[in-house]
Amino acid sequence: MKNIAFLLITLLATISVHAQDFQISFTGSGLSGTVDSVQVKNLTQDTNITLLGSDILNLVQVLGTDKPQSLNSELSIYPNPVKETSVIEFYSTQNEDVNLEIYDVLGRTLVSQTGNVRPGKNSFEISGFSSGNYIATIATNTWQESLRFVSVGGNNQKPLILQKGAVAVLPKSTELDNTTNNVVQMQYNTGEILLFRAYANDNIRLITLVPTQSQTVDFEFVSCQDTAGIHYPVVTIGNQNWMAANLNYATGNSWCYDNDPANCDTYGRLYDWQTVMNGSASSNNNPSGVQGICPPGWHVPSDAEWTQLVNHVGVNEAGAKLKSTSSLWNASDIVAATNSSGFSSIPGGLRNVDGFFTSLGSHGIWWSSTESSAIRAWNYLMYYSSVSVFRNKNFKTNGLSCRCILD
């Protein structure tokens, strides 16, 4: 009997832990004290949402609410996410004409409704939305407010808006909280990995996190801009700050895969070693001290710095932790990538000295600042179906990808 009681207590405790909701807010530091927007990706589930920097992310095990959820001082929607129907509510202090429009994430108007509202709490019922993220905007001649909502239904019917009427109950205007932030839900199970991609002006910061409690996530924005004006995302791994994208600076012997500019936009450029070094001598120092073609304040990582990165994330599964979960990798790589570090490597392939391009989608290969001989230099390779990172020698004349590291 004691054993049964112990098992029941353990089970209840486990359920309590897994059912707990967390709220995540955002702040900025470094180059910006504020955050413009945040993209959140659940790397375990491969789901995404986008929030304003002032929004609050509500991580829940079960999506949905059974009562109105205030999204700002007067505008609310419930339930959110929408399964079949939801109600949008707002307060008006007078008789006035109002227009409700609902857009998709591309800014296309899906449905609109114009009506006259009365003093009090007014409501509109919405329905017919397929799965996705949407924006609802209510506007009169004197004010306009917007909110975002998520639909999780498989409804493929035509979106509809139905005006429900008004209830003569007004909020106490002196008690309105204009600082209330939007609360956006995301389904989350304990132990899952989230990747946050935050924007502040042109600066981009990545953080990975396994939330265990409500907290404020601080994004320390640093400049990572090449001389052509391209901005790159930054991620901290251990005590190193890395580019979280491949360099795409056009200079010297550099190429787009298959000479297609669209591949440069996606994968970055491929460089021979001499171009990457930009006249500097080989270095295996940590830090390397070789700016090469990296942005000001950044440098080409040495063999020693690459080794430090691999050791930090764990040699046995370094490739899995450094590789993006993007579909840019060959499909069979799904089980071999977690991107738990946020490094977000992608398979840009390589260019041989004879001009032949190969291995796009299967190999990502990056130069170090350290030569292994007069004609070869050390590079680091990640392969689509392996959880490992491979240290190789490559001819300096071949074209490989480049990542930079903060001084």
- What confidence tens digit (pLDDT) does each residue in 156-213 have? 678 899 888 665 443 333 333 334 568 888 889 989 999 999 999 999 999 999 999 9
Chain mean pLDDT for the chain: 85
pLDDT at 341 over 70: yes
pLDDT at 292 over 70: yes
- CA dist 57 and 186 (Å) reads 7
Q: 112: closest CA among 138, 92, 86, 143? A: 138
In this structure, the number of other CB atoms found within 10 A of the CB of residue 75 comes to 18
Higher-pLDDT residue of 183, 313 = 313
pLDDT at 207: 97
Model pTM greater than 0.85? Answer: no
Pick the CATH number of 62-173 from 3.40.50.2300, 2.60.40.2550, 3.40.50.300, 3.40.640.10: 2.60.40.2550
With a CB cutoff of 8 Å and minimum separation 6, the contacts of 256 are 262, 263, 264, 269, 270
Domain boundaries, the chain: 20-60+188-221, 62-173, 231-406
Q: What integer is the mean pLDDT of 243-256?
A: 96
- CA dist 32 and 219 (Å) reads 9
pLDDT at 326 over 90: no
Contact assessment for residue 351 and residue 270, using Cβ atoms and an 8 Å cutoff: yes
pLDDT at 74: 62
pLDDT at 67: 37
Q: What integer is the mean pLDDT of 101-112?
A: 84
* 20-60+188-221 against 62-173: fold identical: yes
Tell me: domain 20-60+188-221, CATH 2.60.120.380, correct? no
Dihedral angle, C-alpha 258, 264, 266, 269, nearest 10 °: 100
Higher-pLDDT residue of 240, 63 = 240
pLDDT at 281 over 80: yes
- CA dist 150 and 82 (Å) reads 6
pLDDT-derived band at 357 (thresholds 50, 70, 90) equals very high
14: helix, coil or strand? helix
pLDDT-derived band at 150 (thresholds 50, 70, 90) equals confident
- CA dist 10 and 44 (Å) reads 26
229-267: burial string, b at 16+ Cβ within 10 Å, e else: ebbbbbbbbeebbbbbbbbbbeeebbbbbeeeeebbebb
pLDDT at 63: 58
Dihedral angle, C-alpha 139, 118, 76, 145, nearest 10 °: 20
